[in-house]
Amino acid sequence: MKASTIAYLLAPLGAMASPCKHRPSSSTAVVPSAPASASVSASASASASATAVPTPSDVPATTTAATSAAPSATPSKAPAGSGIDALFKAKGKQYFGTSADSGSLSISQLEKLVESDFGELTPENSMKWDAIEPRQGQFSFTGSDALVKYAQEHDKIVRGHTLLWYQQLPQWVQSITDKDELTKVIQNHISKVVGRYKGQVKAWDVVNEIFNEDGTLRDMVFTQVLGEDFVRIAFEAARAADPEAKLYINEYHLESASGTKVTGLNNYVKKWLAAGIPIDGIGLQGHLGGSNPSAAEMQAGMELLSKSGVTELAITELDILNAPVDEYVKVFEACLAIEMCVGITTWGVSDANSWLPNDNPLLFDHQYQEKPAYKAVVELLSK
């Protein structure tokens, strides 16, 4: 992993993340599709912190204190059965995971926690379109290869994130206006990326954040040029490239039983499944707290979605403002209660590396120590 890690860390920051923080729902309603800067600032405008620099996991190691630690040569293995992943599996779930990439995995304290508590990895940024195909036809798999290699060497499942998203989407894609051209570009991107990791990525977030808060489809290059047909094009391309991988729609603000977004998405999924589009699962991102939903209705929301016709649900990007104990426990209880819920992924390991640097939303604190919510989840799963 080391040589490729270094190469990844040296990648130009411009090719990396654009901040996107889901706060007041009004800011995430209708977002103009192009140019990229417009869509980013529209979704970010509600929050001053959304204009912040990339999160620590995107920053070269030398620029943050936290990342200056040497990579751990010999990751310590926690005793089997002690971490959350093992406890969750003992309850019948497939995994408990986290987002990560080479940058965060090179922090030895963080990597030890990945070893002890997490059984699944989602690339935080390295599989996004701007990282993999920044220029048309020029693919760069350095970061994603490193993540997948780490996962294989450490016996972790990988969820692929994400094939089609209006953010972290290169300008050359956003500029396309021709139907046939955009169709071919989507098909080529998806078949190259999914094909490369065939048999190695368990599930893909094929489309990400394609809905408005009112349950209609987002105004972005994909809908402008192709209408809703981009969904069929994307899912069919992914299915063709890896027939075994589970294919997901991933979305935020689904943690409600009656909201316009969850009901709108539910109706679209039913319609698309009836039309033969190969959708296997729905991912609830689970960015909770503050002006986002609380965990109160998460189980009811999952109940509703479990009847849409998909075979899997997953909580894909969990983080909760200030990590309240009862909220974290509710999320785990919801996944335990819904048989179709296969696993939970937190969006990061420790508050030191969260994409929401001021929210302290994760299970481990800035010093990589267990927080009360961590202990409460372990207690719940140990019952």
Residues serving a catalytic function are 209, 317
* 3-class SS of residue 380: helix
Which CB atom, from 133 or from 381, has the smaller least distance to ligand XIL? 133
Token representation of residue 108: 């030895």
E-strand ranges in the chain read: 95-100, 120-123, 157-165, 203-208, 246-251, 281-284, 287-288, 312-320, 341-346
* 3-class SS of residue 250: strand
* Length of the chain as a residue count: 383
Q: Is residue 104 part of the contact set for ligand XIL (CB under 6 A)?
A: no
Which CB atom, from 130 or from 183, has the smaller least distance to ligand XIL? 130
* 3-class SS of residue 327: helix
| Minimum distance, C-beta of residue 205 to ligand XIL, in the bound complex (Å) | 7
| Minimum distance, C-beta of residue 381 to ligand XIL, in the bound complex (Å) | 26
Per CB under 6 A, the list member of 11, 20, 110, 342 interacting with ligand XIL is 20
CA 177 to chain centroid, in Å, comes to 28
Of residues 111 through 140, those in contact with ligand XIL by CB under 6 A are: 124-125
Q: Is residue 357 part of the contact set for ligand XIL (CB under 6 A)?
A: no
DSSP symbols for 85-125: HHHHHHTT-SEEEEEE-HHHHTSHHHHHHHHHH-SEEEESS
Q: Is residue 27 part of the contact set for ligand XIL (CB under 6 A)?
A: no
Q: Measured between alpha carbons, how far is residue 179 from residues 57, 138, 224, 225, 277 in Å?
A: 36, 21, 10, 6, 19
Number of residues that bind ligand XIL (CB under 6 A): 13
Q: Is residue 290 part of the contact set for ligand XIL (CB under 6 A)?
A: no
Q: What is the C-alpha separation between 169 and 19, in angstroms, rounded?
A: 12
Q: Is residue 355 part of the contact set for ligand XIL (CB under 6 A)?
A: yes
Q: Is residue 24 part of the contact set for ligand XIL (CB under 6 A)?
A: no
Q: Which residues pair with 260 in a beta bridge?
A: none
Per CB under 6 A, the list member of 24, 32, 54, 278 interacting with ligand XIL is 54
| Minimum distance, C-beta of residue 168 to ligand XIL, in the bound complex (Å) | 7
| Minimum distance, C-beta of residue 334 to ligand XIL, in the bound complex (Å) | 20
Which CB atom, from 312 or from 317, has the smaller least distance to ligand XIL? 317
On whether the CB atoms of residues 45 and 27 are closer than 8 A, the answer is yes
Which residues have CB under 8 Å from 124's CB, separation 6+? 55, 57, 99, 100, 101, 104, 161, 347, 348, 355
Which CB atom, from 160 or from 324, has the smaller least distance to ligand XIL? 160
Which range binds ligand XIL by CB under 6 A, 14-22, 67-75, 219-227, 357-365?
14-22
Q: Is residue 208 part of the contact set for ligand XIL (CB under 6 A)?
A: yes
Q: Is residue 289 part of the contact set for ligand XIL (CB under 6 A)?
A: no
Q: Is residue 248 part of the contact set for ligand XIL (CB under 6 A)?
A: no
Of residues 55 through 94, those in contact with ligand XIL by CB under 6 A are: 55, 57-58
On whether the CB atoms of residues 104 and 124 are closer than 8 A, the answer is yes
Q: Is residue 95 part of the contact set for ligand XIL (CB under 6 A)?
A: no
On whether the CB atoms of residues 331 and 318 are closer than 8 A, the answer is yes
Which range binds ligand XIL by CB under 6 A, 51-59, 86-94, 254-262, 364-372?
51-59
Q: Which residues bind ligand XIL (CB under 6 A)?
A: 17, 19-20, 54-55, 57-58, 124-125, 208, 285, 317, 355
